Structure 1
Amino acid sequence: MNADFQRLLAKGREPAVFINFAALGVIGVSGALLNVVVGSIWGSSTLGVFNQVFAVYLLAGQLGVIGLQNAALQHGAANLTQLSDVACASLILCASIALPVAVLLWLGSGAIGYVLDSAPVRQGIALVAPGVLFFAINKVALALLNAAGRMVWYGLLQALRVVAILALVGAAAIFGIDGVMLPLAFVGAELVVLFILAGWFVRPSQISITAASAWFKRILLFGIKSAPATSFNEINYRVDTLVLGVFVGDRVVGVYSLASTLVEGLMQGLIVIRTLVASALVEALQEPARKTTAELIRWTRRASYLLFLVVAILALPVYWAFLDVTGLMTDFSDSILIFAILIAGPTLAAGYIPLGTILMFAGRPFEQSVLAAIILAANTALNFALTAPFGAIGAATATASANVFAAALLHLLIKRRLGLAF
């Protein structure tokens, strides 16, 4: 391991590794508890509605942020001396775009509910629509923390969002709130995170609209170019839930979403690795020879495969026991096979999931978007082809297969387009 690679990987990461993996544990446990609480108290149908609304909410949030978090990370990490100007420009642009998206989501809630054939989903989308603005602002602000190397705060705030959702849902359970109101927990959690982030970024003495205006065009153009990649990636993670909602009822979606949410929680370990190496990867890709980049990729692949292999070996028996201990086996026993199929996908693709945004970091946002579009098209086609005849099992098979396809395609592009031998 050469000195440059050690310097890049270690820069600001020693305490961040512990904090981010601790945050991963909190997110995983809180996510599991959240689904258990909703499923056990309000039932599988409400859980299905809850996760469908969550999927639509995240997609709308991605449209609201329109790739500006990528621009904030890219330009912020590469221009640390002007980070306050980059932050000001990014946040102003984000708020200006996310507000109209939130309004449009509220106006379109009826149409979405009609497509998914669910009145509770329609009501839930209308409730979470204002949260799109807060979600988008938080997304950009967290990217700026990443760019500044504030990974301890990054991990803490990521965990806080999920804990806040759990706390608000728990309060709803205690006070006997109707399940249709649960999506408001998403809005409340974003407000909590936003309040803390405001302490970092709302500093009038460091705000200069004149200086920030020099960044508006660069940030907006980079964001627009990278937005399809980000949006497509988010849709890719949610397409199974949304397609399933078109073909089956809320109860089946609830059974499926319990398994898929827990698999997604386990994948957070790979997301932590991606976050920890993000700024180092941006810097390494600026080297003409890119020797450090190749070594960083090799390290990331090895660490990712090793981590998730251990996770996958333990996951199925733990999940089985989890359903039994929590009393959910009766209603959710069908999710065991779904869980087993779903976790096979990231197990085979683990080494490439943390590298999913490497083309964008290399200054190729358009190619990143094309890659994401191809992966989304394959995933969507597989889901429609397999979900209609096979239901939840078909959705799980399609999603796992799409993960493997994405890893193979990314491997090819890193070698062909970036010229990296690893």
Structure 2
Amino acid sequence: MTRPPVDIDTPSDRGTVQTGLPKERAFRTHLLWNYLSFAVVGGCGFLIQFMIAAFMDAAALGVFNQVYACFVVMSQLAVAGVHHSVLKSVAEYPDESSEWTDAAVSGILLAGILGFLVAAAALSASSLAGAAMDSAEVGIALSWAAPGLLFLAINKVCMAVLNGRRMMIAFAAMQAIRPLLLLGFVATACFLKWPVALLGAAFTFSEVTLCVVLIAYVLWRLPTHSARNIKHWLRAHASFGFRGALSGLLMEVNVRVDVLILGLFVSDAKVGLYSFAAVFMEGLFNLLQVVRTNMNPILVRLVMEKRIGDLHNIVKRTHRRVYPATTALVLALLGVYPLIVNSLLRNAEFMKSWPILAILMFGVVIYSGFVPFDFLLLVGGKPGSHTLLMLVEVGTNVCLCFVFVRLWGIWGAAAAMSASAALGALYLNMIVNWRLRFPLLPALR
């Protein structure tokens, strides 16, 4: 049940030079800005869910989250890993080199081409998707969201340029703009009582607006470039990006598969009830990702130096801290959830999602101790093994969701996600033990 990585890099010396701050002060400043950005992203996500649930209804929330799931999955096809190639390329050259500027410009051009093709395909298929999910509103909302895929692909590459050049304050600020734009659009839609299907336009609006800001900023920061190597970089980005695109796609499918499969078999209202509970699960996972983000540099060093004893100690210490903390947070959330629903939403219908939350949180507790280590194969130099892990996890998740949803509806989706989390911990340990000779589970040492 690997969650998608948080796009926050630890600033390097290059970023320190650009800000003019002393090294330690620059590190703390960049880290603070990125944690603030993370807080904005998470806070806006919760507010969007609450607004739709409170001012519209469960069916509207179901439509929004089905479109969101489709949009996020298709975004991986739209950018096709090009942003990873751009990040790597622009970080490798000094400021005065024209190579990194050519790499950036060619990445933006390639993302625009791919984004246009995927956006056109998504627009053409929107009515079919609505029919498959037995919801005309989902189909219409997808048609409003589809053009945003073009701009999202460009935005991902521009963000990779900022990240690769360690412009981390700008990176954090831009990262916070998207959810604020989404929140503003949703708030307007709720206040003016727009049709539910127009919620899909929130994604296009936010990506277009962010694209204007990002392109202006990136072009302003780009030095003059010769454009002599554009063709070379187009080929390089396509080769590198396409080879790594599958992993990103699998990550997003693994996170969104429950909502996508529910959309095929249950009503929009039931999807809304489920997704309202699921947003709390995702929020808790995002908190655990902060631990992973800080752990990754340590793990890289320990794996490279083959310090297995120190790795064992870190796993033990992390488990001793993460499991009690996660359990306490889950119990507190389950206790206050009825108060949140009854006091803020004042809609008794959403209390039906409490058992769903409880089932989902069971899986969160099981997997929480492994979140800090679920990129261990990547940092250990085994990207192919990481992709294998993702394939096994996604395959398990899809199969369980199909079977359990058919049997038990929204409760089946929650059970499938929890079961997948438990199995994901087992898969992670087995493949890490096989490829790195390092078992994460004490019983298998």
Note the alpha carbon deviations across 1:188-227, whole angstroms, 9 max, x for none: 1122322332244224634443245443333322221211
For residue 20 of structure 1, the aligned residue among 10, 31, 34 is 34
For residue 65 of structure 1, the aligned residue among 66, 71, 79 is 79
Note the alpha carbon deviations across 1:86-127, whole angstroms, 9 max, x for none: 323332222221110000000011111111111001101111
Amino acid at match of 1:262: F
CA apart distance, 1:44: 0.8
Matched, 1:239 2:257: yes
Distance 1:406 1:154, change over 3 A: farther
Distance in 2 (alpha carbons) for counterparts of 1:12 and 1:411: 37
Note the alpha carbon deviations across 1:166-190, whole angstroms, 9 max, x for none: 1111112222322211111111112
Structure 2 counterpart of 1:289: 305
Aligned residues: 415
| Structure 1 residues without counterparts, runs of 5 or longer | none
CA apart distance, 1:352: 3.4
Distance in 2 (alpha carbons) for counterparts of 1:307 and 1:69: 35
Distance in 2 (alpha carbons) for counterparts of 1:379 and 1:196: 38
Q: Secondary structure at the match of 1:210?
A: coil
Matched, 1:322 2:330: no
CA apart distance, 1:19: 2.7
Amino acid at match of 1:112: A
Greater shift after overlay, 40-49 or 64-73? 64-73
Q: Secondary structure at the match of 1:149?
A: coil
Structure 2 counterpart of 1:167: 184
CA apart distance, 1:307: 6.1
Larger radius of gyration: 2
Amino acid at match of 1:69: H
CA apart distance, 1:79: 5.1
Matched, 1:124 2:141: yes
The answer as to whether partners of 1:28 and 1:262 remain within 8 angstroms in 2 is no
Distance 1:149 1:317, change over 3 A: farther
Distance in 2 (alpha carbons) for counterparts of 1:348 and 1:414: 18
Structure 1 counterpart of 2:443: none
CA apart distance, 1:334: 1.0
Structure 1 counterpart of 2:18: none
For residue 370 of structure 2, the aligned residue among 352, 367, 375 is 352
Structure 2 counterpart of 1:53: 67
Distance 1:150 1:418, change over 3 A: farther
Matched, 1:87 2:104: yes
Identity %: 27
Amino acid at match of 1:160: I
The answer as to whether partners of 1:85 and 1:211 remain within 8 angstroms in 2 is yes
Superposition pairs of residues 209-288 of structure 1, within 5 angstroms:
209-275=227-293, 280=297, 284=301
Note the alpha carbon deviations across 1:272-329, whole angstroms, 9 max, x for none: 4445566x479759x8535599769948956765764553343222322211211344
For residue 132 of structure 2, the aligned residue among 115, 121, 124 is 115
The answer as to whether partners of 1:281 and 1:293 remain within 8 angstroms in 2 is no
Structure 2 counterpart of 1:31: 45
Distance 1:331 1:405, change over 3 A: same
CA apart distance, 1:358: 4.7
Distance in 2 (alpha carbons) for counterparts of 1:209 and 1:219: 15
Distance 1:355 1:194, change over 3 A: farther
The answer as to whether partners of 2:62 and 2:269 remain within 8 angstroms in 1 is yes
Amino acid at match of 1:335: S
Matched, 1:335 2:353: yes
For residue 407 of structure 2, the aligned residue among 379, 384, 389 is 389
Structure 1 counterpart of 2:210: 193
For residue 420 of structure 2, the aligned residue among 391, 397, 402 is 402
Q: Secondary structure at the match of 2:394?
A: helix
Structure 2 counterpart of 1:414: 432
CA apart distance, 1:141: 2.5
Distance in 2 (alpha carbons) for counterparts of 1:266 and 1:333: 20
The answer as to whether partners of 1:80 and 1:148 remain within 8 angstroms in 2 is no
CA apart distance, 1:139: 2.1
Could you tell me the TM-score, scaled by structure 1's length? 0.86
Structure 2 counterpart of 1:138: 155
CA apart distance, 1:365: 4.0
Distance 1:158 1:343, change over 3 A: farther
Could you tell me the TM-score, scaled by structure 2's length? 0.82
Distance in 2 (alpha carbons) for counterparts of 1:352 and 1:209: 45
Over the aligned positions, Cα root-mean-square deviation in angstroms equals 3.3
Note the alpha carbon deviations across 1:130-157, whole angstroms, 9 max, x for none: 0011122222332333333344433333
For residue 312 of structure 1, the aligned residue among 302, 325, 330 is 330
Q: Secondary structure at the match of 2:159?
A: helix
Q: Secondary structure at the match of 1:71?
A: helix
Distance in 2 (alpha carbons) for counterparts of 1:70 and 1:163: 25
Matched, 1:202 2:219: yes
Q: Secondary structure at the match of 1:334?
A: helix
Distance 1:390 1:126, change over 3 A: same
| Structure 2 residues without counterparts, runs of 5 or longer | 1-9, 14-22, 441-445
Note the alpha carbon deviations across 1:378-408, whole angstroms, 9 max, x for none: 0001101111111111101111221232233
Distance in 1 (alpha carbons) for counterparts of 2:30 and 2:309: 21
Distance in 2 (alpha carbons) for counterparts of 1:297 and 1:65: 39
CA apart distance, 1:410: 2.3
Note the alpha carbon deviations across 1:256-284, whole angstroms, 9 max, x for none: 01111232123222334445566x47975
The answer as to whether partners of 1:24 and 1:269 remain within 8 angstroms in 2 is no
Amino acid at match of 1:228: L
